[in-house]
Structure 1
Amino acid sequence: MADIQSKIKQVGLTQVYSSKDPTVDIVFVHGLNGHPYSTWASKSGNNVFWPVDLLPEILESKRVRLLTYGYNAGVHAFTDGTSNDRIHHHAETLASSLAANRSLRECLERPIIFVCHSLGGLVVKRALIQCENVTSEKIEHLRSIYVSTYGILFLGTPHNGSDVAKWGLLLQNICSAVLPKRFIETSPHLIGALRTNNETLQNINSLFAEMMGRFHIYFFHETRSTDVKGTRELIVDENSAAPYVEGVERMGIEADHSTMCKFDSENAPGYEAVAEALLRYSRDAPEIISHRWLEEKNTRAIKRKAKAQEIFDGAFGGADVSIGRSMPDLRTAGTTQLLPSSSASSITLRDYEIEEPSDSYSMNRNF
């Protein structure tokens, strides 16, 4: 286990397991004050790191690759002031790192499943929002993260709440659960920062709600309270961690906020549900994502064809010029020669000639 722990990078992606010729990538993203190893490792004496020690046996029949993602998850990354930039930065780095990792291995179209703990879910949401909004052909590889994502498991991630003060209290409680008590006591300015101006977090959830129907999602919520300043309470309660949403699975895990993502054996509360969801998602994802990529490629080709047509229309002053249609041979038109004699007698943008999407892959198909 020490070898695994020393291998995992604190910042960035680390591949911790891979079967031969994997067909699915599963990415683990920790939350506030978390770590790509310790967040997923049990605190008991056997120190089980379940993504490596338990999960591969369950997923043995599937070809998967498991990765952890680490980032500077200090409390200020989720408070206001510079928080807007920091959450955006973490999300942007996650998307860029994952796209680069997959591009180097020529697997940009491989399905992705995210496993997120706590506020790490907000980083994943923000990354998907950014990738979905990519329109430039120059950075289409980033959009691949959005197209390839099949499922997301959220463990203790807050998903709703419109009251800014309540957001502040929630963040304060999360800090109390994951940070040393002495840190909270010696940082009085932190409380004020947490209680105000957290619209960034609300906006992320609002924007993600518009696209979440695209993904297979499982909400997990804690059922054991945490000691917060002498009183015991749920850090992220059921209403926030697992709201009722049509088509979304939900379940409680008999653990507190910090330990709900740490499984020391296959008998640990919640482990079988998490493992079964990952097994099911890994089984179903390749076919669905392959269909989405067919749609994506057709959509991109149609856009490029339209763009090329627009360029040609402008270049020829609105003349009747369409892509794939032969131009008149100007060398025999009885006028001044406009094309060199070596030129072809037609102008055809063959790079943009495509077939329209077949009915079986209609753009309106809902996957």
Structure 2
Amino acid sequence: MVNTLHVLTDGPECPTMDIVAIHGLNGHYMDTFTHKPKFAPSTMWLKDLLPKKIPGCRTMSFEYDASFNSMSIANVRDTARSLLELLKDEREESKYANVPIVVVAHSLGGLITKQDDYPGMANCTKGIVFFGTPHRGADAAHWAVVAEKIGHAVFRTSKSKFLEILVRNSEDLYEITEDFRPIAANYAIVSFYEEYAYNILGKVIVDKDSAIMGLPHEQKMMISGTHTSMCRFSKRDKQFDAVWKRIKRAADGVP
């Protein structure tokens, strides 16, 4: 799989902001953010809903190999660097060169976001919206539930570099947190945490204590859904109002 930054919607001649989505562990650049009812059309809110609420925004979604059975040797820092270079290329010498950036990150995607150390991009990034990001990790058994659809045997034999980081209180996770702490005050930060447990586990995948960093300016909000469904919205989902309004505010930077 080649790391790719997909442009989902392009804005008008006078763009207002760039919105960059990053999926999580075993996620997909489209499916992670797509509501798929059984008897109605699918809704990919980054493409179908958000541009109507925030005129002039351009939405993008980053595709990278986060599968459980990945043989990639890339770690969080490698993946973050790839994203930053692709985003730089997408914005360079264009009408989007100086518009603010808001990152929307699910789960592992939030840890990748926290590695934003490219000066030009860091200055333009005004806000980060986290969905169930395990800032303090989660128990290995919890990630096994996420792996359920592809079988626990795959999880147990997984070679993915990302799984090592996601386990609660891993050394790499600690380093990512410590690296981010000095620059966190530069961004408007919204942290959504999941409300519903998985039946098979009886617990949420990423608990509130892990999904929230405890920063003074951090906005915190519980959102209905499990770890995988919490960032999927239908056209009639009232929760989407809370999401798009916070994304729009985040483009203004730290309150």
- How does the TM-score come out when normalised to structure 1? 0.61
Where in structure 2 are the equivalents of 1:294-333 lying within 5 Å?
Answer: none
Q: Deviations over 1:127-178 (max 9, x none)?
A: x1x32xxxxxxxxxxx211110000000000123xxxxxx4x535413422x
Deviation of residue 67 (structure 1)?
A: 0.9
CA 1:37–1:118 in structure 2 vs 1: closer, same or farther (change >3 Å)?
same
Q: Does the aligned pair in 2 maintain the 1:42–1:48 contact within 8 Å?
A: yes
Identify which of structures 1 and 2 has the higher relative contact order when contacts are C-alpha pairs closer than 8 Å and 6+ apart: 2
Secondary structure of 1:226's aligned partner: coil
Q: Deviations over 1:24-61 (max 9, x none)?
A: 1110110111111000001313211111211122113x
Q: Does the aligned pair in 2 maintain the 1:109–1:144 contact within 8 Å?
A: no
Q: Deviations over 1:168-201 (max 9, x none)?
A: x535413422x2355323553449x746993112
Deviation of residue 109 (structure 1)?
A: 2.4
Partner of 2:127: 151
Q: Does the aligned pair in 2 maintain the 1:12–1:70 contact within 8 Å?
A: yes
Q: Does the aligned pair in 2 maintain the 1:75–1:175 contact within 8 Å?
A: no
Partner of 1:220: 192
Bigger share in strand: 2
Deviation of residue 221 (structure 1)?
A: 0.1
Partner of 1:6: none
Q: Percent identity?
A: 28
CA 1:104–1:76 in structure 2 vs 1: closer, same or farther (change >3 Å)?
farther
Q: Deviations over 1:73-123 (max 9, x none)?
A: 12367xxx986x422221110010001111142543221000000010011
When structure 1 is superposed on structure 2, of 200-209 and 29-38 the one drifting more is 200-209
CA 1:247–1:42 in structure 2 vs 1: closer, same or farther (change >3 Å)?
same
1:59 aligns with 2:29: no
CA 1:43–1:82 in structure 2 vs 1: closer, same or farther (change >3 Å)?
closer
Q: Does the aligned pair in 2 maintain the 1:266–1:272 contact within 8 Å?
A: no
1:255 aligns with 2:220: no
Partner of 1:74: 67
1:15 aligns with 2:7: yes
Look up the equivalent residue of 1:32 and give its one-letter code. L
Where in structure 2 are the equivalents of 1:184-199 lying within 5 Å?
Answer: 184-190=152-158, 194=164, 198-199=170-171
Where in structure 2 are the equivalents of 1:41-52 lying within 5 Å?
Answer: 41-45=34-38, 46-52=41-47
CA 1:54–1:210 in structure 2 vs 1: closer, same or farther (change >3 Å)?
same
Aligned pair count reads 247
> Aligned equivalents of 1:70 and 1:37: distance in 2?
9
Deviation of residue 10 (structure 1)?
A: 7.5
Q: Does the aligned pair in 2 maintain the 1:122–1:157 contact within 8 Å?
A: yes
CA 1:33–1:86 in structure 2 vs 1: closer, same or farther (change >3 Å)?
same
Match of 1:231 among 193, 198, 201: 201
5+ residue gaps in structure 2?
A: none
> Aligned equivalents of 2:144 and 2:88: distance in 1?
31
Secondary structure of 1:108's aligned partner: coil
Q: Does the aligned pair in 2 maintain the 1:151–1:216 contact within 8 Å?
A: yes
Bigger share in helix: 1
